[in-house]
Structure 1
Amino acid sequence: MVLNLLSRKKNRHTSATDSAPSVKPIIRKCPDYQPAAPVKLSDDSLLRCLQLGRWGFMIGHHQRWRQHPEAEKAYQAAGAAIDENYALVPEGFASLPMTVIDTPGAAEIDFDTEPFLLGRCVVTNVQYQGFVDAGGYEDLDVWPQDIWPHLIDFTDLTGTPGPRFWRDGRHDRRLADHPVVGICFYEAVAYAAWAGFRLPTEAEWQMAASWRIRSSAHVLRRYPWGDALDKDRCNIWASGIGHTEPVEAYPGGAAPNGIRQLIGNVWEWTDSDYEVTDSEGRPVVGVMQMKSIRGGAFDTYFASQATSCFRTGLVSLSRTNNVGFRCALDLPSLSNGESGS
């Protein structure tokens, strides 16, 4: 019964005596909004996964379709897509400041990071549209059980399940290749799980941005491209753009492995709690859980906050216009699919 109450069934019917009629918020029409056209999804579950970009899920569950006549071809296509859209982040480490104000000599904790794959770009509106169209907000398997009661709040401007700034469950087609925003931490986690990926930890994100590889050179980059701020390599307040840009923009600001926009455009959710102390070593805690976000955004005014090492956090249920996410994948996931029975 609980599942029926929490899952939104579009074809459910209730009488006036069963419950009060649902009321959508009154939203002014937006004549300038250009909703993306619906996409016809394949009736074949394997081909539909490929179509929706669920490449990690396909690789991790290949035994599910072992009798499918197109299985081998589809797996090869999924692997090729991962190779094209993800880059290897080598083994390294990250030193995370543990105080609110990172002053010289402040406490830090070193974290070792294993090699992993990280998305070359953050997730776009068109990619997230596939999650929405496939019923991701009704698929309780990809959401933590304690978050189920909050799903009713994860709606767009018209009260339809989806990112906060969409309308009628559709993104604006002119922003198809822009980062999806207006999604909270749990929406990012749900998409990643649905697609067969995960969010990077804060240490992994910092390793990717600072390129602190374990070597005799002891490299630590303030920015993915080097040590000097260049507002033409990223989209922050000083760049003078004032809004998000396509995720493929600023190739000159990419890390050595080709990962783009680790600095600017949108902050990025990580899978780590935001834990810091004050100058006297006392834990800083809030009323609600906070998750680490990294990298700065198009509206980051202070350039010192848009670096590879700056730490900050955001309430996990926040759905703002300047926070997105990118996915990660463990290397063993490429070869260790589910075992057959």
Structure 2
Amino acid sequence: MTDDLVRIPAQTATLGSDRHYPEEGPARPVQVAGFGIQPRQVTNAEYAGFVGATGYLTVAERPVNPADYPNAPAANLQPGSMVFSRTRGPVDLRHLNLWWTWTPGASWRHPVGPLSSIDKRADHPVVHIAYEDAEAYATWAGLSLPTEAEWETAARGGLDQAEYTWGDEPETQPMANYWHGDFPWRPDKGYGRTTPVGSYPPNGYGLFDMAGNVWEWTTDWYGETRDAQPCCASDSYDPRQPQFPVPRKVVKGGSFLCADVYCLRYRPAARRPQPVDTGMSHIGFRCVKR
């Protein structure tokens, strides 16, 4: 599990950004100790090895206790996960429920619904992974999940304060699996879904898919800005949604759904909150060793 880890040197890195979304700031120098990190996102084949060895059942596969979700519609009270579906045409981008659907039977084994499979996706990143699912794999593998600072330092590939994992200029050739085309209905050919890990060029540290493909879990609780780091789960709740008192962790890297017109978050500084109990068809992970 650790033979191919890439060593990230100890350094003082400038993390965050004051040029984009408010939750990315303030940019500030952070001392990061050296660590090893997996060069690729954990794949379906690798996760299947873990499940085969342990019998682990992911959150998306477990029976739902109605008492845990007193305000949820009855149709949602069955095992499943959130699946992206293309719309039929242009839509109001303020309403993400137009392209996200709670799908009973969706899980890491069935990434786009109960009739789908991973038979031809062994080398794609595993998805529909809740935080505890990622943590369980990491523990089994003798590894850990990265902190936000570790992840972002690795993603920058030695390019301090660069806009993208490859430098400051937008791509002039394919560099990452993010949304190309009209979002969320008409992706360019070859985009709009996960791709095998390592399909695009690595960054300066030799790490693949640090931009796009799938979002990746970190261990940090989510705060609205970089200088409002929560100390505990209760401080990470979304006050705008009191009906969903679920703590949130930081996910990084963007995904195949990041479109410039909607979600310019396939950049190292970008971040967003993710409820710890919710996997989706664009969330996976990779591990580190300190």
Range class of TM-score, shorter chain: 0.5 to 0.7
- C-alpha contact 1:88 1:117 (8 A) present in aligned 2: yes
Larger Rg: 1
- 1:161-240 counterparts in 2 under 5 A? 163=108, 165=110, 171-212=117-158, 219-230=160-171, 232-238=174-180, 240=188
- C-alpha contact 2:110 2:118 (8 A) present in aligned 1: no
Deviation at 1:294, TM superposition (A): 0.8
Aligned length: 231
Within the alignment, does 1:131 sit opposite 2:89 as a pair?
Answer: no
Residue 120 of structure 2 aligns to a residue whose secondary structure is helix
Distance 1:160 1:265, change over 3 A: closer
Supply the AA of the counterpart residue of 1:193.
T
Deviation at 1:255, TM superposition (A): 1.4
Q: Which has the higher contact order (CA 8 A, sep 6+)?
A: 2
Give the aligned partner of residue 295 of structure 1. Answer: 253
Percent identical: 30
Quote the RMSD (CA, aligned, Å). Answer: 3.8
Within the alignment, does 1:319 sit opposite 2:264 as a pair?
Answer: no
- C-alpha contact 1:155 1:163 (8 A) present in aligned 2: no
Supply the AA of the counterpart residue of 1:299.
L
Residues 140-162 of structure 1: CA deviation (Å, up to 9, x unaligned): xxx9xxx9xx9545966999996
What is the rounded CA distance, in whole Å, between the counterparts of 2:136 and 2:106 in structure 1?
13
Give the aligned partner of residue 267 of structure 1. Answer: 215
- 1:1-341 counterparts in 2 under 5 A? 55=1, 82-83=2-3, 85-92=4-11, 93-96=13-16, 101-102=21-22, 107-137=26-56, 152-153=63-64, 163=108, 165=110, 171-212=117-158, 219-230=160-171, 232-238=174-180, 240=188, 241-251=191-201, 254-277=202-225, 285-286=237-238, 287-302=245-260, 304-330=264-290
Moved >2 Å (runs of 4+): 92-104, 106-111, 150-168
Residue 7 of structure 2 aligns to a residue whose secondary structure is strand
Residues 3-43 of structure 1: CA deviation (Å, up to 9, x unaligned): xxxxxxxxxxxxxxxxxxxxxxxxxxxxxxxxxxxxxxxxx
Residue 15 of structure 2 aligns to a residue whose secondary structure is strand
| TM score, norm. by length of structure 1 | 0.58
- C-alpha contact 1:122 1:326 (8 A) present in aligned 2: yes
Deviation at 1:220, TM superposition (A): 2.4
Deviation at 1:304, TM superposition (A): 2.5
Gaps of 5+ in 1: 1-54, 56-81, 214-218, 331-341
What is the rounded CA distance, in whole Å, between the counterparts of 1:113 and 1:189 in structure 2?
21
- C-alpha contact 2:148 2:218 (8 A) present in aligned 1: yes
Distance 1:293 1:91, change over 3 A: same
Gaps of 5+ in 2: 65-77, 82-102, 182-187, 230-234, 239-244
Residue 292 of structure 1 aligns to a residue whose secondary structure is strand
Distance 1:137 1:260, change over 3 A: same
Distance 1:156 1:195, change over 3 A: farther
Distance 1:99 1:226, change over 3 A: closer
Supply the AA of the counterpart residue of 1:244.
T
What is the rounded CA distance, in whole Å, between the counterparts of 2:140 and 2:272 in structure 1?
27
Distance 1:183 1:174, change over 3 A: same
